[in-house]
Amino acid sequence: MHTKLKYLAMTALFFSASSAMYAVDLTKAYDMPDATEMIKKDLFPAAKKYTMPKSCDLNDPKAIARGEYIFHNLNGKKAKKPAPEGLVKFVEKKGKDGKVKKKAKQFGNCVACHNIEGARGAGNIGPSLESYKENFIDTKARDAQFVYQKIADPRIDNPNTHMTVNLTTGLFNEQEICDLTAYVISEKKKK
Amino acid sequence: MRKVILSIAFLSTMGMLQLNAGEQFAMSDADRAMYKEMLENNPAEIYVEEGGEILEDSLGGEEALAKFLGVSEKDLPKYIAGFPRYVEKLGNVVGIDQVLQAMEVEQGKKKTKLKSGKMFSMLAYVKSLANDELIGIDVDADEHIKAAYALGKKTYMTARGGRGLSCNSCHSADIVGQVLRTQPLPDLGEVAVGGTWPAYRMTKSSLRTPQRRFQGCMKNALLKVIPIGSKEMVALEVYVTKLGADKKKKIAIPGLKR
């Protein structure tokens, strides 16, 4: 009898201990993947001043054509027309696995925020760039250097800008910023 | 004008803009007719129902959920309306999906992936239990949620990625109602993100959760897409949910979105 009780007590003890062991630690029971490092790597540098390179040929029709293409398209996958000379729709990138993959080249999609001659579905977050040459360049309100800086890194002109940063982020190179500048300040056909 | 556009229903918003801007906007008459039809018959109801069945069959339904969360079944809707929140036994500010995972583990079941359709359905069902409640998030409730709110705000404001944009670049008060390509920019409080997601997204023909929706914006704007359930993602949901709570918005799941 006595031993039986003892036995019972022991089993009870055993069960409570094992169930305590089994009361899973729920603080690790769900997924909470890390994003802190991802965000850190995704940050971009502080606002940077640029001088328009001498190599920018703002009157080159090919540069203007490239600028127009970058302005009106989001990326190489979405762009319908063939890319103009000096621009590609896809770039080759080495993935983590070492394999080379074709990736759509990102363009400016400036039309998402700006109206301009010939725009389709333009947004209005940024000012209209229609008749830019007549209104801003010919009147000397702006010059090519201002436009170049604005596109390269608009934070110099306006630290709280809603505009995309295009050169400091490394998404575009100097030549592409030249192309965009050339296009914005070019004389355009009136409809 | 901007305020007016946003405070009336999406449907009539699109109608008004259509009048103002002609064919510039992406929603056609056929789209609008479909939207109207779907308002009465949201295709996501099926997923919500399915989520309810999974919860019932595999985890013991609302009763088990209430017990797991330490609230009465009567108080469950109000409690659900306060997510994301700090859940002590999970040791973090968490979303409903993470609670469901922990329940699964406690019951010795396999954890359902946060980004799976099954989880989206269960999440939608559980959140729909709070329908008609006010969005009840309390970002002052404890130190943990205070920290999550602060992290959410920081994540929301941090410009990053290929184009140097933040959530705030496109959703700040001074730009709401303006047009990005053909899309009017929504005020995330006014459209009650915290009360209308999970929602059926017409353009994706599927049920999407709020965090999945955030990922969509990140992808489009070239921000590195951060994973569902990460501290920052939950914090973003806290921040954005508070925007709707400030406007006294109610919960109505599943939502219906373009």
pLDDT of residue A190: 67
Least confident of A30-34, A61-65, B196-200, B235-239: B196-200
Measured between beta carbons, the chain B residues lying within 8 angstroms of A42 are: 160-161, 223-224
CB-CB under 8 Å, B180 with A113: yes
Whether A137 contacts A185, CB under 8 Å: yes
Residues 11-50 in B contacting A (C-alpha not used; CB under 8 Å): 24, 26
pLDDT under 70 in chain B at which residues?
Answer: 1-27, 35-40
> How do residues B33-62 score in pLDDT, each as one tens digit?
776 666 667 888 889 999 999 999 999 999
Quick check: A37 contacting B, CB < 8 Å?
Answer: no
With cut-offs at 50, 70 and 90, classify the pLDDT of residue A8. Answer: low
Quick check: B227 contacting A, CB < 8 Å?
Answer: yes
Quick check: A32 contacting B, CB < 8 Å?
Answer: yes
A89 vs B176, higher pLDDT: A89
The angle at the Cα of A39, spanning A35 to A41, to the nearest 5 degrees, equals: 120
CB-CB under 8 Å, B232 with A27: no
pLDDT of residue B254: 87
The CATH number that applies at residue B69 is 1.10.760.10
Report the alpha-carbon distance of residue B212 to residue B20 in Å, rounded.
32
pLDDT of residue B158: 95
- The mean of the pLDDT values for chain A is 88
pLDDT, average across residues A148-171? 93
pTM of the model: 0.83
> How do residues B220-249 score in pLDDT, each as one tens digit?
999 999 999 999 999 999 999 999 999 999
CB-CB under 8 Å, B222 with A106: yes
Whether B236 contacts B182, CB under 8 Å: no
A144 vs A1, higher pLDDT: A144
How many residue pairs from chains A and B have C-beta atoms closer than 8 A?
Answer: 120
Quick check: A64 contacting B, CB < 8 Å?
Answer: no
Quick check: A21 contacting B, CB < 8 Å?
Answer: no
pLDDT of residue A7: 59
pLDDT of residue B4: 32
Residue B30, number of CB atoms within 10 A of its CB? 8
Total tally of structural domains belonging to chain B: 1
pLDDT of residue A6: 58
Q: What tokens appear for A68 in the block?
A: 């127009």
- In order of A135, A186, B166, B196, the CA distances from A161 in angstroms are 22, 24, 11, 30
CB-CB under 8 Å, A164 with B163: yes
A113 vs B5, higher pLDDT: A113
For residue A95, pLDDT over 70 is answered with yes
Measured between beta carbons, the chain B residues lying within 8 angstroms of A162 are: 169-170, 172, 175
Domain of B82 in residue numbering reads as 2-257
Quick check: A34 contacting B, CB < 8 Å?
Answer: yes
**Minimum Cα–Cα distance from B106: chain A residue:** A24
Measured between beta carbons, the chain B residues lying within 8 angstroms of A165 are: 159, 163-164
